Amino acid sequence: MGELLIRNGFVFDPLQEIKGDRMDIGIKDGKIVETSALKNPKAIDAAGMAVMAGGVDVHSHVVGPKVNVGRLFRPEDKLFKSPLKRCDRMEMGFSVPSTFKTGYDYARMGYVFVNEAAMPPLHSPHVHEEIRDTPIIDNAAMPVFGNNWFTLEYLKNNEIENNAAYTAWLLRATRGFAIKVVNPGGTEAWGWGLNCESIHDPVPYFDITPAKIITGLIETNEFLGLPHSMHLHCNNLGNPGNYVDALDSFKLAEGYTAKNAFGRDQVMHVTHVQFSSYGGDSWRNIDSQAKEIMDYVNAHDNITIDIGQVTLDETTTMTADGPFEHQLQSLNHLKWANTDVELETAAGVVPYVYSPNVKVSTIQWAIGLELALYSSDLMRTFITTDHPNAGPFIRYPRVVKWLMSRAARDETMKTFKWLDRTIESTTIDSIDRELTLYEIAQMTRAGPAKALGISNIYGGLAPGMDANVAIYALNPEDMPSDPDMIENAFARCAYLVKDGITTVKDGEVVAEPAKRTVWVDVKVPENAQVQRDIYEHFLRHYSVGIENYQLFEAHLHNPRVIEVDSTQ
């Protein structure tokens, strides 16, 4: 590792509130340093280009069993869509790309950190094996808690301390990163062929409401002081009229403030909010309630969201929200995979075609963009496509283009078969806002890093942070008149430096620096009750023994541990 000087670029670093100043960035031994600390650096000339920290993705399904089910049952996703060998490993697939393609494509877009959105705890070894096989990018993975029997039992009895001890144990057993909650209670109800359609529907047998699961997990999260907040996929996702349920869920965060040592301000991250912002009461009269949703989010700074933008592609939906996938399959009649994960969760996978010829698809497209364009704080509103649910992550540059250019939105809307109905049912046509490069940097690196509680390592360019720098061939003083140039620039960065190593040059991967697995190790006081509960459940209910359940060190690839001490 040597020294590197990135010279004369327009630097965008929202964590330091640097808004396109012409600056040099110094790198030494894989860390950002003051330029005065360099002796004889190699230089990268970034004149006329935008310099940002490496991208941070807050929510993306890239590794693990349900992604792999998607890969296995969609061979057509690879047919004629797999480029010839360009890097060390084969790349294939479109909406569910191979692990290798995932790593390379993220790197080509200038991303360095991707948070796997849902890890079934029982299958954590598979998740970690795929993390190992995803080159370049650092990964974390969030185990799902919202339908876990332990969690439901503790929270029903208001045993936050016990739930916290269990959470700490499970994060360690799975080498997980944060508390993910998918359709709280609803996925467990799916085991009875039911669902929890509102946050007040009780879960069968456990007799606890989703509302109580959500508040209980917020309390657990803040009790432990984890880097990230509770990360929520709302109940009644994807159904007309569900914005009411989303707002009900948001309101549960009222009165809670973040307690942590990681610079995180929110207590609830609500993911792919596009899928939770629907008005109307049927697919015929579905409309956008993005304004309502964002009015609430803008006024409450203990919530962050990501948009889950529909990209109008043929893609593969996959979620731990089992009942939702069943419903989707009965709408589109395509193939469906469904699984139950013992005491923990479930999952479903269904291919889906978001078409410009389908009214619901184009309304969904408009809603995602509206969420971002109505946001008054882009440090709390992040770009995602809920990859691959609303579209593949390789479309982030296109989402950026739509957000930065009204002309690009108009161009896309021209292709809509139901343009009038889309304009009637949404407000997208009345929005002229065009986001700036600074705002894009907030949405794609600084904001997500802060929300994940890793903004001391990722998402910024302050001395001491990891030397992850993405350079895009875009001049903020002379932005291209053709919005497609914005998409092209973000799709293939001019340079990506990861850990001080030039990884991508002119949009091509030129090196594969070591990737890491980021996980959170929480120290909690000894808890005999929880240890006994864990022992009992594994004895009576799990199909595997406790010794085989916990991740073996051999599965863990190049770990970076974030330590939390909650005993203080």
Partner 1 sequence: MKTVTITLANPPELYLEGQNITPDNFAGKKAAEIATLDVWEGKMKGPLGKYFTVEGEGGATAADTKIVLRGDCTRVKRIGQQMTAGEIVVEGNADMYIGGWMKGGKIHVKGNVDSFCGIGMEGGELIIDGNAGHHLGSSPRGEWRGMQGGLIRVAGDAGNDTATFINGGTIIIGGNADIHVSTHGEGGTVIIKGDAKGRVGGQMVKGDIFVYGTIEYPLPGFQLVGEVEQEVDGATALFAHYIGDLGERHPVSKGKTVYANIYTRL
Q: Is 190 exposed, middle or buried (0-12, 13-18, 19+ CB in 10 A)?
A: buried
Under the criterion CB under 8 A, does residue 86 sit at the interface with partner 1?
A: no
CB of 369 closer than 8 Å to CB of 342? no
Q: What does residue 112 show for φ and ψ, rounded to 5 degrees?
A: -125, -15
User: In the complex, what is the shortest distance from the CB of residue 350 to partner 1, in angstroms, rounded to a whole number?
Assistant: 11
Under the criterion CB under 8 A, does residue 75 sit at the interface with partner 1?
A: yes
> With respect to partner 1, which residue has the nearer C-beta, 74 or 233?
74
Task: Give the residue, chosen from 77, 116, 159, 245, that forms a contact with partner 1 under the rule CB under 8 A.
Answer: 77
Under the criterion CB under 8 A, does residue 90 sit at the interface with partner 1?
A: no
Under the criterion CB under 8 A, does residue 313 sit at the interface with partner 1?
A: no
Segment interacting with partner 1, rule: CB under 8 A, options 10-18, 76-84, 103-111, 292-300 = 76-84
Residue 231 and residue 254: Cα distance in Å, rounded? 15
> With respect to partner 1, which residue has the nearer C-beta, 22 or 78?
78
Under the criterion CB under 8 A, does residue 423 sit at the interface with partner 1?
A: no
Task: Give the residue, chosen from 43, 79, 544, 561, that forms a contact with partner 1 under the rule CB under 8 A.
Answer: 79
Under the criterion CB under 8 A, does residue 283 sit at the interface with partner 1?
A: no
Contacts of 420 (CB under 8 A, 6+ apart): none
- The number of helices, as runs of H, and strands, as runs of E, in the chain is 19, 22
Residue 125 and residue 423: Cα distance in Å, rounded? 46
Pairing of strands 50-53, 3-13: parallel
> With respect to partner 1, which residue has the nearer C-beta, 73 or 149?
73
Residue 244 and residue 253: Cα distance in Å, rounded? 15
Neighbours of 206 (CB within 10 A): 18
Q: Which two tokens stand for residue 394?
A: 């390789």
Q: Which two tokens stand for residue 456?
A: 């001391």
Under the criterion CB under 8 A, does residue 74 sit at the interface with partner 1?
A: yes
> With respect to partner 1, which residue has the nearer C-beta, 74 or 445?
74
User: In the complex, what is the shortest distance from the CB of residue 80 to partner 1, in angstroms, rounded to a whole number?
Assistant: 8
User: In the complex, what is the shortest distance from the CB of residue 69 to partner 1, in angstroms, rounded to a whole number?
Assistant: 12
User: In the complex, what is the shortest distance from the CB of residue 333 to partner 1, in angstroms, rounded to a whole number?
Assistant: 7
User: In the complex, what is the shortest distance from the CB of residue 75 to partner 1, in angstroms, rounded to a whole number?
Assistant: 4
Under the criterion CB under 8 A, does residue 85 sit at the interface with partner 1?
A: no
Under the criterion CB under 8 A, does residue 284 sit at the interface with partner 1?
A: no
User: In the complex, what is the shortest distance from the CB of residue 103 to partner 1, in angstroms, rounded to a whole number?
Assistant: 24
Cα 561 to Cα 132, 386, 502: the distances in Å are 16, 26, 25
Neighbours of 471 (CB within 10 A): 26
User: In the complex, what is the shortest distance from the CB of residue 78 to partner 1, in angstroms, rounded to a whole number?
Assistant: 9
The amino acid present at 5, given as its one-letter code, is L
Under the criterion CB under 8 A, does residue 334 sit at the interface with partner 1?
A: yes
> With respect to partner 1, which residue has the nearer C-beta, 250 or 352?
352
> With respect to partner 1, which residue has the nearer C-beta, 79 or 561?
79
Q: What's the distance, CA 202 to chain centroid?
A: 28
Under the criterion CB under 8 A, does residue 76 sit at the interface with partner 1?
A: yes
Under the criterion CB under 8 A, does residue 333 sit at the interface with partner 1?
A: yes
Tell me if residue 164 falls in helix, strand or coil.
Answer: helix
Under the criterion CB under 8 A, does residue 418 sit at the interface with partner 1?
A: no
Under the criterion CB under 8 A, does residue 419 sit at the interface with partner 1?
A: no
Residue 118 and residue 142: Cα distance in Å, rounded? 5
User: In the complex, what is the shortest distance from the CB of residue 334 to partner 1, in angstroms, rounded to a whole number?
Assistant: 6
Residues in region 109-138 near partner 1 by CB under 8 A: none
Q: What's the distance, CA 469 to chain centroid?
A: 20
**Full DSSP string of 446-500:** IHHHHHHT-TTTSS---TTSB--EEEES--TTS--SSHHHHHHHHHS-SEEEETT
Q: State the DSSP code for 3.
A: E
Segment interacting with partner 1, rule: CB under 8 A, options 11-19, 22-30, 74-82, 465-473 = 74-82
Binding mask 341-380 for partner 1 (x = CB under 8 A): ----------x-----------------------------
Q: State the DSSP code for 445.
A: I
> With respect to partner 1, which residue has the nearer C-beta, 350 or 372?
350
Under the criterion CB under 8 A, does residue 66 sit at the interface with partner 1?
A: no
Residue in 514, 509, 560 with CA at minimum distance from that of residue 105:
509
Neighbours of 99 (CB within 10 A): 22
Q: What does residue 176 show for φ and ψ, rounded to 5 degrees?
A: -95, 175
User: In the complex, what is the shortest distance from the CB of residue 340 to partner 1, in angstroms, rounded to a whole number?
Assistant: 24
> With respect to partner 1, which residue has the nearer C-beta, 200 or 335?
335
Task: Give the residue, chosen from 335, 532, 541, 560, that forms a contact with partner 1 under the rule CB under 8 A.
Answer: 335
Q: Which residue has the tokens 């089992």?
A: 322
Residues near partner 1 (CB under 8 A): 73-77, 79, 333-335, 351
